[in-house]
Protein backbone atom coordinates (compact mmCIF):
# COMPACT_ATOMS: atom_id res chain seq x y z
CA UNK A 1 0.00 0.00 0.00
CA UNK A 2 1.14 3.50 -0.75
CA UNK A 3 -0.41 6.94 -0.63
CA UNK A 4 0.32 7.21 -4.37
CA UNK A 5 -2.05 4.38 -5.22
CA UNK A 6 -5.36 5.14 -6.87
CA UNK A 7 -8.56 4.04 -5.18
CA UNK A 8 -9.01 1.38 -7.90
CA UNK A 9 -5.59 -0.15 -7.23
CA UNK A 10 -6.18 -0.12 -3.47
CA UNK A 11 -9.32 -2.21 -3.93
CA UNK A 12 -7.90 -4.74 -6.44
CA UNK A 13 -7.55 -8.46 -5.70
CA UNK A 14 -5.28 -9.62 -8.55
CA UNK A 15 -5.35 -13.08 -10.11
CA UNK A 16 -2.60 -15.45 -8.99
CA UNK A 17 -1.39 -17.69 -11.84
CA UNK A 18 0.02 -21.17 -11.23
CA UNK A 19 3.66 -21.17 -10.27
CA UNK A 20 6.34 -21.06 -13.01
CA UNK A 21 9.24 -22.50 -10.99
CA UNK A 22 12.79 -21.50 -11.89
CA UNK A 23 14.05 -24.97 -10.90
CA UNK A 24 14.87 -27.40 -13.70
CA UNK A 25 13.88 -31.09 -13.66
CA UNK A 26 10.47 -30.54 -12.11
CA UNK A 27 7.52 -32.44 -13.52
CA UNK A 28 5.22 -29.52 -14.09
CA UNK A 29 1.55 -30.52 -14.07
CA UNK A 30 0.14 -27.32 -12.56
CA UNK A 31 -0.78 -24.83 -15.31
CA UNK A 32 -2.36 -26.90 -18.10
CA UNK A 33 0.40 -26.25 -20.57
CA UNK A 34 0.71 -28.72 -23.43
CA UNK A 35 3.47 -31.30 -22.85
CA UNK A 36 4.32 -31.38 -26.58
CA UNK A 37 6.18 -28.69 -28.54
CA UNK A 38 4.22 -26.56 -31.02
CA UNK A 39 4.24 -27.30 -34.76
CA UNK A 40 7.79 -27.05 -36.18
CA UNK A 41 6.25 -24.65 -38.72
CA UNK A 42 5.92 -22.10 -35.91
CA UNK A 43 9.69 -21.87 -35.51
CA UNK A 44 10.18 -21.68 -39.28
CA UNK A 45 7.64 -18.86 -39.60
CA UNK A 46 9.15 -16.89 -36.72
CA UNK A 47 12.67 -17.35 -38.12
CA UNK A 48 11.52 -16.23 -41.56
CA UNK A 49 9.89 -13.16 -40.04
CA UNK A 50 13.10 -12.34 -38.15
CA UNK A 51 15.35 -12.87 -41.19
CA UNK A 52 19.11 -12.50 -40.80
CA UNK A 53 19.14 -9.14 -39.08
CA UNK A 54 15.68 -8.88 -37.50
CA UNK A 55 15.30 -5.63 -39.45
CA UNK A 56 11.55 -6.06 -39.66
CA UNK A 57 11.30 -5.55 -35.92
CA UNK A 58 11.95 -1.85 -36.66
CA UNK A 59 8.42 -1.70 -37.98
CA UNK A 60 5.15 -1.88 -36.06
CA UNK A 61 3.10 -5.01 -36.71
CA UNK A 62 -0.24 -4.95 -38.53
CA UNK A 63 -2.57 -3.41 -35.91
CA UNK A 64 -5.44 -5.57 -37.18
CA UNK A 65 -3.44 -8.82 -37.61
CA UNK A 66 -5.35 -9.38 -40.86
CA UNK A 67 -3.32 -12.47 -41.84
CA UNK A 68 -4.18 -14.12 -38.55
CA UNK A 69 -7.86 -13.20 -38.79
CA UNK A 70 -7.93 -14.64 -42.31
CA UNK A 71 -6.38 -17.92 -41.13
CA UNK A 72 -8.87 -18.21 -38.24
CA UNK A 73 -11.77 -17.33 -40.57
CA UNK A 74 -10.72 -20.08 -43.00
CA UNK A 75 -10.37 -22.62 -40.20
CA UNK A 76 -13.81 -21.97 -38.72
CA UNK A 77 -15.66 -20.93 -41.90
CA UNK A 78 -16.43 -17.48 -40.59
CA UNK A 79 -15.73 -14.00 -41.99
CA UNK A 80 -12.87 -11.84 -40.64
CA UNK A 81 -15.50 -9.42 -39.30
CA UNK A 82 -16.60 -12.15 -36.88
CA UNK A 83 -13.11 -12.42 -35.37
CA UNK A 84 -11.25 -10.45 -32.70
CA UNK A 85 -7.64 -11.31 -31.78
CA UNK A 86 -5.69 -10.40 -28.67
CA UNK A 87 -2.59 -10.93 -26.56
CA UNK A 88 -3.70 -14.23 -25.05
CA UNK A 89 -7.34 -14.99 -24.33
CA UNK A 90 -6.94 -13.38 -20.92
CA UNK A 91 -6.59 -10.02 -22.67
CA UNK A 92 -9.50 -10.86 -24.96
CA UNK A 93 -11.57 -11.71 -21.86
CA UNK A 94 -10.60 -8.44 -20.19
CA UNK A 95 -11.95 -6.53 -23.19
CA UNK A 96 -15.10 -8.71 -23.17
CA UNK A 97 -15.83 -7.75 -19.55
CA UNK A 98 -15.32 -4.06 -20.33
CA UNK A 99 -17.14 -4.01 -23.68
CA UNK A 100 -19.99 -6.49 -23.30
CA UNK A 101 -20.53 -7.47 -19.65
CA UNK A 102 -20.57 -4.14 -17.81
CA UNK A 103 -24.29 -3.36 -17.47
CA UNK A 104 -26.88 -2.49 -14.83
CA UNK A 105 -27.60 -6.08 -13.78
CA UNK A 106 -25.01 -8.41 -12.21
CA UNK A 107 -23.42 -10.94 -14.55
CA UNK A 108 -23.61 -14.68 -13.83
CA UNK A 109 -20.92 -17.33 -13.71
CA UNK A 110 -20.49 -20.66 -11.87
CA UNK A 111 -19.38 -20.70 -8.22
CA UNK A 112 -16.53 -23.01 -9.26
CA UNK A 113 -14.87 -21.68 -12.39
CA UNK A 114 -11.91 -19.80 -13.87
CA UNK A 115 -10.83 -17.54 -11.02
CA UNK A 116 -9.91 -14.68 -13.35
CA UNK A 117 -13.60 -13.80 -13.91
CA UNK A 118 -14.19 -12.20 -10.49
CA UNK A 119 -10.84 -10.39 -10.86
CA UNK A 120 -12.01 -8.66 -14.06
CA UNK A 121 -15.26 -7.75 -12.29
CA UNK A 122 -13.18 -6.10 -9.57
CA UNK A 123 -11.02 -4.25 -12.08
CA UNK A 124 -13.96 -2.88 -14.08
CA UNK A 125 -16.48 -2.46 -11.26
CA UNK A 126 -18.88 -5.10 -12.56
CA UNK A 127 -21.40 -6.72 -10.20
CA UNK A 128 -21.62 -10.49 -10.36
CA UNK A 129 -23.61 -13.33 -8.87
CA UNK A 130 -22.26 -16.88 -8.80
CA UNK A 131 -24.50 -19.82 -9.70
CA UNK A 132 -23.76 -23.05 -7.81
CA UNK A 133 -22.69 -26.06 -9.84
CA UNK A 134 -24.84 -29.15 -9.30
CA UNK A 135 -23.78 -31.80 -6.76
CA UNK A 136 -21.95 -33.64 -9.56
CA UNK A 137 -20.01 -30.45 -10.41
CA UNK A 138 -21.77 -29.84 -13.74
CA UNK A 139 -23.38 -26.57 -14.90
CA UNK A 140 -27.21 -26.58 -14.63
CA UNK A 141 -28.38 -24.35 -17.53
CA UNK A 142 -31.87 -23.74 -16.03
CA UNK A 143 -30.25 -21.92 -13.09
CA UNK A 144 -29.11 -19.18 -15.50
CA UNK A 145 -32.68 -18.21 -16.38
CA UNK A 146 -32.71 -15.16 -14.07
CA UNK A 147 -32.21 -11.45 -14.70
CA UNK A 148 -28.56 -10.76 -15.58
CA UNK A 149 -26.22 -8.40 -17.39
CA UNK A 150 -24.41 -11.27 -19.13
CA UNK A 151 -23.27 -14.86 -18.63
CA UNK A 152 -19.78 -16.36 -18.84
CA UNK A 153 -18.46 -19.87 -18.27
CA UNK A 154 -15.70 -22.07 -19.65
CA UNK A 155 -16.66 -25.16 -21.65
CA UNK A 156 -15.27 -27.58 -20.57
CA UNK A 157 -15.43 -25.86 -17.18
CA UNK A 158 -12.23 -25.14 -15.27
CA UNK A 159 -10.99 -26.50 -12.95
CA UNK A 160 -13.51 -29.37 -13.07
CA UNK A 161 -12.94 -30.38 -16.72
CA UNK A 162 -16.65 -31.20 -17.06
CA UNK A 163 -18.16 -30.43 -20.49
CA UNK A 164 -21.58 -28.93 -21.24
CA UNK A 165 -23.47 -30.12 -24.33
CA UNK A 166 -24.65 -27.83 -27.11
CA UNK A 167 -28.35 -28.31 -26.31
CA UNK A 168 -27.70 -26.86 -22.86
CA UNK A 169 -25.79 -23.90 -24.31
CA UNK A 170 -28.57 -23.28 -26.82
CA UNK A 171 -31.09 -23.33 -23.96
CA UNK A 172 -29.10 -20.58 -22.21
CA UNK A 173 -28.85 -18.50 -25.40
CA UNK A 174 -32.61 -18.74 -25.95
CA UNK A 175 -33.46 -17.93 -22.32
CA UNK A 176 -31.22 -14.84 -22.36
CA UNK A 177 -31.72 -13.03 -25.70
CA UNK A 178 -30.92 -9.64 -24.14
CA UNK A 179 -27.56 -10.77 -22.66
CA UNK A 180 -24.27 -11.78 -24.17
CA UNK A 181 -23.45 -15.40 -23.38
CA UNK A 182 -19.68 -15.91 -23.42
CA UNK A 183 -18.39 -19.48 -23.83
CA UNK A 184 -14.69 -19.67 -22.94
CA UNK A 185 -13.49 -22.65 -24.98
CA UNK A 186 -9.87 -22.72 -23.77
CA UNK A 187 -10.00 -26.54 -23.58
CA UNK A 188 -12.59 -27.40 -26.23
CA UNK A 189 -10.12 -29.21 -28.53
CA UNK A 190 -9.60 -31.93 -25.93
CA UNK A 191 -13.08 -33.37 -26.17
CA UNK A 192 -16.03 -30.97 -25.86
CA UNK A 193 -18.42 -29.81 -28.61
CA UNK A 194 -17.66 -26.26 -29.77
CA UNK A 195 -20.45 -23.67 -29.82
CA UNK A 196 -18.98 -22.08 -32.98
CA UNK A 197 -21.72 -23.54 -35.25
CA UNK A 198 -24.30 -21.68 -33.12
CA UNK A 199 -22.76 -18.28 -33.98
CA UNK A 200 -24.74 -18.20 -37.23
CA UNK A 201 -28.00 -18.46 -35.27
CA UNK A 202 -27.41 -16.37 -32.12
CA UNK A 203 -26.22 -12.76 -32.19
CA UNK A 204 -25.72 -12.90 -28.40
CA UNK A 205 -23.10 -15.68 -28.47
CA UNK A 206 -19.38 -14.98 -28.12
CA UNK A 207 -16.88 -17.88 -28.19
CA UNK A 208 -13.33 -17.44 -26.84
CA UNK A 209 -10.36 -19.54 -27.98
CA UNK A 210 -6.67 -19.61 -27.09
CA UNK A 211 -3.56 -21.05 -28.71
CA UNK A 212 -2.08 -21.61 -25.23
CA UNK A 213 -3.42 -25.10 -24.61
CA UNK A 214 -4.21 -27.22 -27.67
CA UNK A 215 -1.66 -25.42 -29.91
CA UNK A 216 1.18 -25.55 -27.33
CA UNK A 217 1.75 -21.78 -27.52
CA UNK A 218 1.17 -20.44 -24.00
CA UNK A 219 4.45 -18.53 -24.34
CA UNK A 220 3.42 -16.71 -27.54
CA UNK A 221 0.25 -15.12 -26.07
CA UNK A 222 -2.47 -15.41 -28.72
CA UNK A 223 -6.20 -15.70 -28.13
CA UNK A 224 -9.31 -14.77 -30.08
CA UNK A 225 -13.06 -14.21 -29.88
CA UNK A 226 -15.66 -15.33 -32.43
CA UNK A 227 -19.15 -13.90 -32.74
CA UNK A 228 -21.57 -11.50 -34.44
CA UNK A 229 -19.79 -8.50 -36.06
CA UNK A 230 -21.53 -6.11 -33.64
CA UNK A 231 -19.95 -7.92 -30.67
CA UNK A 232 -16.56 -7.92 -32.41
CA UNK A 233 -16.84 -4.19 -33.12
CA UNK A 234 -17.36 -3.54 -29.39
CA UNK A 235 -14.11 -5.40 -28.66
CA UNK A 236 -12.25 -3.50 -31.39
CA UNK A 237 -13.43 -0.22 -29.88
CA UNK A 238 -11.98 -1.16 -26.47
CA UNK A 239 -8.79 -2.56 -27.98
CA UNK A 240 -8.23 0.59 -30.02
CA UNK A 241 -8.67 2.65 -26.88
CA UNK A 242 -6.04 0.58 -25.05
CA UNK A 243 -3.27 -0.82 -27.29
CA UNK A 244 -3.14 -0.63 -31.09
CA UNK A 245 -0.66 -3.51 -31.36
CA UNK A 246 -1.53 -6.31 -28.93
CA UNK A 247 0.02 -8.95 -31.19
CA UNK A 248 3.65 -8.54 -32.18
CA UNK A 249 5.12 -9.61 -35.52
CA UNK A 250 6.42 -12.95 -34.23
CA UNK A 251 3.12 -13.83 -32.56
CA UNK A 252 1.13 -13.13 -35.73
CA UNK A 253 3.23 -15.33 -38.03
CA UNK A 254 3.68 -18.04 -35.38
CA UNK A 255 -0.05 -18.22 -34.73
CA UNK A 256 -0.85 -18.48 -38.45
CA UNK A 257 1.64 -21.33 -38.85
CA UNK A 258 0.20 -23.19 -35.84
CA UNK A 259 -3.38 -22.84 -37.05
CA UNK A 260 -2.49 -24.08 -40.54
CA UNK A 261 -0.70 -27.23 -39.31
CA UNK A 262 -3.76 -29.44 -38.87
CA UNK A 263 -1.74 -32.68 -38.82
CA UNK A 264 0.44 -31.63 -35.88
CA UNK A 265 -2.63 -30.34 -34.04
CA UNK A 266 -4.52 -33.63 -34.47
CA UNK A 267 -1.54 -35.75 -33.45
CA UNK A 268 -0.78 -33.87 -30.21
CA UNK A 269 -4.41 -33.35 -29.22
CA UNK A 270 -5.17 -37.07 -29.61
CA UNK A 271 -2.04 -37.99 -27.64
CA UNK A 272 -3.21 -35.81 -24.72
CA UNK A 273 -6.68 -37.38 -24.86
CA UNK A 274 -5.21 -40.90 -24.84
CA UNK A 275 -2.96 -40.09 -21.86
CA UNK A 276 -5.91 -38.53 -20.01
CA UNK A 277 -7.83 -41.79 -20.39
CA UNK A 278 -4.92 -43.86 -19.03
CA UNK A 279 -4.20 -41.50 -16.15
CA UNK A 280 -7.88 -41.28 -15.14
CA UNK A 281 -8.11 -45.07 -14.99
CA UNK A 282 -4.90 -45.37 -12.98
CA UNK A 283 -5.96 -42.73 -10.47
CA UNK A 284 -9.33 -44.45 -10.07
CA UNK A 285 -7.45 -47.65 -9.35
CA UNK A 286 -5.53 -45.83 -6.59
CA UNK A 287 -8.87 -44.94 -5.01
CA UNK A 288 -9.31 -41.41 -6.40
CA UNK A 289 -12.67 -40.05 -7.46
CA UNK A 290 -11.94 -38.57 -10.90
CA UNK A 291 -14.44 -36.15 -12.47
CA UNK A 292 -15.11 -37.01 -16.13
CA UNK A 293 -12.79 -34.62 -18.00
CA UNK A 294 -13.00 -33.30 -21.54
CA UNK A 295 -9.96 -31.06 -20.96
CA UNK A 296 -6.16 -31.42 -20.81
CA UNK A 297 -6.30 -31.82 -17.03
CA UNK A 298 -8.19 -33.92 -14.56
CA UNK A 299 -9.79 -32.96 -11.26
CA UNK A 300 -9.60 -35.70 -8.64
CA UNK A 301 -9.96 -36.26 -4.90
CA UNK A 302 -9.08 -39.12 -2.59
CA UNK A 303 -11.62 -40.05 0.09
CA UNK A 304 -8.91 -40.77 2.68
CA UNK A 305 -6.10 -38.34 1.88
CA UNK A 306 -6.04 -34.58 2.28
CA UNK A 307 -5.47 -32.82 -1.05
CA UNK A 308 -3.10 -30.16 0.30
CA UNK A 309 -1.03 -32.90 1.95
CA UNK A 310 -0.91 -34.87 -1.30
CA UNK A 311 0.17 -31.80 -3.26
CA UNK A 312 2.94 -31.19 -0.72
CA UNK A 313 4.11 -34.80 -0.81
CA UNK A 314 4.22 -34.70 -4.62
CA UNK A 315 6.17 -31.48 -4.52
CA UNK A 316 8.74 -33.15 -2.26
CA UNK A 317 9.13 -35.62 -5.14
CA UNK A 318 9.56 -32.80 -7.70
CA UNK A 319 6.06 -33.07 -9.15
CA UNK A 320 3.85 -29.99 -9.02
CA UNK A 321 0.07 -30.06 -9.37
CA UNK A 322 -2.52 -27.38 -8.56
CA UNK A 323 -4.49 -27.23 -5.33
CA UNK A 324 -7.17 -24.56 -4.77
CA UNK A 325 -7.92 -23.65 -1.16
CA UNK A 326 -11.53 -22.80 -2.01
CA UNK A 327 -14.94 -23.91 -0.72
CA UNK A 328 -16.29 -27.17 -2.22
CA UNK A 329 -13.03 -28.03 -4.03
CA UNK A 330 -10.34 -27.89 -1.34
CA UNK A 331 -10.06 -31.70 -1.36
CA UNK A 332 -9.40 -31.85 -5.11
CA UNK A 333 -6.15 -31.76 -7.06
CA UNK A 334 -6.04 -30.39 -10.58
CA UNK A 335 -3.52 -32.37 -12.57
CA UNK A 336 -2.48 -31.26 -16.06
CA UNK A 337 -2.00 -34.05 -18.59
CA UNK A 338 1.72 -34.44 -19.25
CA UNK A 339 3.56 -36.89 -21.46
CA UNK A 340 2.98 -40.60 -20.77
CA UNK A 341 6.32 -40.67 -18.93
CA UNK A 342 5.42 -37.72 -16.70
CA UNK A 343 2.03 -39.25 -15.86
CA UNK A 344 3.68 -42.59 -15.05
CA UNK A 345 6.05 -40.77 -12.68
CA UNK A 346 3.02 -39.14 -11.07
CA UNK A 347 1.16 -42.41 -10.48
CA UNK A 348 4.34 -44.08 -9.18
CA UNK A 349 4.83 -41.22 -6.70
CA UNK A 350 1.19 -41.35 -5.60
CA UNK A 351 1.35 -45.09 -5.12
CA UNK A 352 4.31 -44.53 -2.78
CA UNK A 353 2.64 -41.67 -0.91
CA UNK A 354 -0.65 -43.53 -0.42
CA UNK A 355 0.90 -46.75 0.84
C1 LIG B 1 -5.81 -20.94 -19.78
C2 LIG B 1 -7.15 -20.27 -19.77
C3 LIG B 1 -7.34 -19.02 -20.32
C4 LIG B 1 -6.19 -18.10 -20.69
O5 LIG B 1 -5.51 -18.45 -21.75
P6 LIG B 1 -4.41 -17.47 -22.37
O7 LIG B 1 -4.80 -17.43 -23.80
O8 LIG B 1 -3.11 -18.16 -22.13
O9 LIG B 1 -4.50 -16.13 -21.73
C10 LIG B 1 -8.63 -18.52 -20.41
N11 LIG B 1 -9.67 -19.19 -19.90
C12 LIG B 1 -9.52 -20.37 -19.30
C13 LIG B 1 -10.70 -21.08 -18.76
C14 LIG B 1 -8.24 -20.95 -19.20
O15 LIG B 1 -8.08 -22.09 -18.56
Q: Does ligand 1 come within 6 angstroms of the Cβ of 184?
A: yes
Per-residue pLDDT tens listing for the chain (355 residues): 899 999 999 999 999 888 888 878 899 999 999 999 999 999 999 999 999 999 999 999 999 999 999 999 999 999 999 999 999 999 999 999 999 999 999 999 999 999 999 999 999 999 999 999 999 999 999 999 999 999 999 999 999 999 999 999 999 999 999 999 999 999 999 999 999 999 999 999 999 999 999 999 999 999 999 999 999 999 999 999 999 999 999 999 999 999 999 999 999 999 999 999 999 999 999 999 999 999 999 999 999 999 999 999 999 999 999 999 999 999 999 999 999 999 999 999 999 999 9
Domains identified in the chain and CATH numbers? 7-38+263-354 (3.90.1150.10), 40-261 (3.40.640.10)
Q: Does ligand 1 come within 6 angstroms of the Cβ of 223?
A: yes
Q: Whose CA is nearest to atom 5 of ligand 1?
A: 89
Q: Does ligand 1 come within 6 angstroms of the Cβ of 88?
A: yes
pTM given for the model: 0.97
Q: Does ligand 1 come within 6 angstroms of the Cβ of 210?
A: yes
β-strands 319-321, 289-290: how paired? unpaired
Most ligand 1 atoms within 8 A of CB, residue of 182, 212, 216, 294 to mutate: 212
Tell me, in angstroms, the distance from the centre of ligand 1 to residue 316's CA: 28
Q: Does ligand 1 come within 6 angstroms of the Cβ of 296?
A: no
Based on C-alpha coordinates, what's the Rg of the chain?
Answer: 21
Tell me, in angstroms, the distance from the centre of ligand 1 to residue 5's CA: 29
Tell me, in angstroms, the distance from the centre of ligand 1 to residue 184's CA: 8
Q: Does ligand 1 come within 6 angstroms of the Cβ of 158?
A: yes
**What is the C-alpha separation between 326 and 328, in angstroms, rounded?**
6
**Stretch (H or E) spanning 45:** helix 40-50
Neighbouring C-beta atoms of residue 111, cutoff 10 Å? 13
Most ligand 1 atoms within 8 A of CB, residue of 88, 182, 186 to mutate: 186
First to last CA, the chain: 47
Helix (H, G, I), strand (E, B) or coil at 307: helix
Atom number in ligand 1 closest to CA 213: 1
Tell me, in angstroms, the distance from the centre of ligand 1 to residue 136's CA: 24
DSSP one-letter string for 175-209: H-TTS-EEEE-TTGGGT---SGGGGGT-TTEEEEE
Most ligand 1 atoms within 8 A of CB, residue of 90, 92, 297 to mutate: 90
Amino acid sequence: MSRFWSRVVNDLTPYVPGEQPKLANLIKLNTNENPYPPSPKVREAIQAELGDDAARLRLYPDPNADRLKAAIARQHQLSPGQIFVGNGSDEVLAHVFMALLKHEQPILFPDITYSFYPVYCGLYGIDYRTVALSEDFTIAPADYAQPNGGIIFPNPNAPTGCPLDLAAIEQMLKANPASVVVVDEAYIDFGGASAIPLIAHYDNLLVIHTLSKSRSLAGLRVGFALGHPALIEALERVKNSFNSYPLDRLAIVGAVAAIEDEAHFEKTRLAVIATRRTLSAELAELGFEVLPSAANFIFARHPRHDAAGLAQALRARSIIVRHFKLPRIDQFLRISIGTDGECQALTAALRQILS
